[in-house]
Amino acid sequence: MKPADKHYKFINSRTGNVIYYHSISGNRSVEEIKAELQEVKNRVAIQNNIYCETVYWEEMKEDIDV
């Protein structure tokens, strides 16, 4: 069974706005995921002309009401 993809949102901490969404394959190690998220964070900050420390990510969890 293939692990589910993980979905992340990147947020500008000054405005609270989500500025980017990113998905990562679920069959990667924790270290690989963190490294990719850091790379994406830096790219998003540069593209939006903001400091890297201003951007943070959160994993998006699916809220399923049963």
20, part of any domain: yes
Nearest to 57 by CA among 32, 38, 31, 35: 38
Q: What residues pair up with 7 in beta bridges, in sequence order?
A: 23
44, part of any domain: yes
21, part of any domain: yes
65, part of any domain: no
23, part of any domain: yes
For residue range 6-63, list pLDDT tens digits in order. 999 999 999 999 999 999 998 899 999 999 999 999 999 999 999 999 999 999 987 6
1, part of any domain: no
Q: Which two tokens stand for residue 6?
A: 């993980």
Boundaries of domain holding 40: 6-59
The confidence band for 64, taking pLDDT boundaries of 50, 70 and 90, is low
Rounded to whole angstroms, how far apart are CA atoms 48 and 15? 13
Q: Which two tokens stand for residue 55?
A: 């951007």
Number of structural domains found in the chain: 1
SS3 of residue 66 by DSSP: coil
Any residues with CB less than 8 A from the CB of 43 and at least 6 apart, and which?
A: none
48, part of any domain: yes
Which pLDDT belongs to residue 49?
Answer: 96
